[in-house]
Amino acid sequence: MVVLEQFMFSLSKILLPVDFSPRALGAARYAEALADRYGAQITMLHVIPPPQYDIELMEAAAIPLTEMSTSRKAAAEEQNRTFLNQELPGFRPERRLLEGDPASEIVEIAHNEGFNLILMPTHGYGLFRRFILGSVTAKVLHDADCPVWTGVHLEAAPPVESIQFRTVVAAVDLGKQSEKTVAWAAGFAQETKARLVIAHATPSMDRRTGEFYDPVREDLAKDAAKRIAELQKAVGTSAEVVIDSGDPPYFIESVARKQRADLVVIGRGAAAGIFGRLRANAYAIVRQSPCPVVSV
């Protein structure tokens, strides 16, 4: 597989925002696996949000705001210093602690210091994973100008040595980000020796029953196949292609499961959210995917 020369795939700097939860442990396992493969530097970042306090409670406890702030920072510094030391004894990230709005600080440091990837979990898990996406993650997905790796199953990440990437699915809407999406997915697949599958959902015809609409569905599929062929030629790939009609989040979930994907890649524009049909469905795609999702 050959990727366009002007697209230089790199994962030399990984930003790992942590909240000291089990989900952060799973994200750290993926970060370490990628760092081992690419020789990347990991920066583990914890951001202390502005104190949310109850005035009556503070008055009753007679705790000044400055004292509360100092105590919170001291506790965070200790957690940041020791987090994952026992769970991942070989984990040697640069550790940073900042104060402010978490999403804004994450996006700013990623932009200013040229990180290649932000790797962070969502808040979705268990029975409610289809309905939950953390507000910090959502804002980072919208505002960051580098790829963002996330997923609702990161807390269940396997041990670092067991993490493998055998199949990568690039989901495209054939908008202006599609070439970049496929190029990133192809670069990652090439580096990890994974199989690449390109998936595209045409508009659903479910509500339009009858043979009259069959040619419409067929024409949409043929047009999509032609445009994907042109896209593959431009990027320099020869990936397997899956095209079907349906709701994008459910279609991508289905393809990811059938293909046993280890990673799904979708398109995202710098500081402009997700483009095209995937834009309105991006959070649903992340929530429903059975594997991590990278928005590029």
The 3-state DSSP class for residue 18 equals: coil
Query: What average pLDDT does the segment 83-95 reach?
Result: 92
Does residue 277 carry a pLDDT above 50?
no
- Can you read off the two tokens belonging to residue 162? 């067991």
pLDDT at 17 over 60: yes
**Domain residue extents for the chain:** 1-156, 164-296
Specify the range with the lowest mean pLDDT, choosing from 55-69, 169-183, 214-228.
55-69
Domain 164-296 is of which CATH architecture?
Answer: 3-Layer(aba) Sandwich (3.40)
Confidence of residue 5 (pLDDT cuts 50, 70, 90): very low
Highest mean pLDDT among 2-6, 108-112, 148-152: 108-112
Question: Cβ distance 148 to 164 under 8 Å?
Answer: no
- Write the single-letter amino acid at 294: V
Amino acid at 120: M
Mean pLDDT of the 97-123 span: 94
Sign of torsion over alpha carbons 80, 41, 25, 48 = positive
In angstroms, the CA 89 to CA 212 distance is 63
Q: Tell me the CATH class for 1-156.
A: alpha beta
How big is the chain, counted in residues? Answer: 296
Q: Which two tokens stand for residue 262?
A: 């280890």
d(CA 83, CA 160): 17
For the chain, percent of residues with pLDDT exceeding 90: 61
- The predicted-structure confidence for 188-242, as pLDDT tens digits, reads as follows 999 999 999 999 999 876 544 444 456 777 889 999 999 999 999 999 999 999 9
- Name which residue leads in pLDDT, 115 or 203: 115
Which stretch, 25-34, 50-59, 117-126, 211-220, has highest mean pLDDT?
25-34
Q: CA 112 to CA 212: how far, in whole Å?
A: 55
Determine the pLDDT at residue 1: 41
Residue 82 backbone zone (phi > 0: left; psi -120 to 50: alpha; other: beta)? alpha
Mean pLDDT, range 160-167, rounded to an integer: 95
Position with higher pLDDT, 55 vs 164: 164
- DSSP at 275: -
- Are 1-156 and 164-296 in the same CATH fold? yes
For residue 106, give both structure tokens. Answer: 């994450």
Average confidence score pLDDT of the chain: 84
Give the pLDDT confidence of 127-138 residue by residue, as tens digits.
Answer: 333 344 578 888
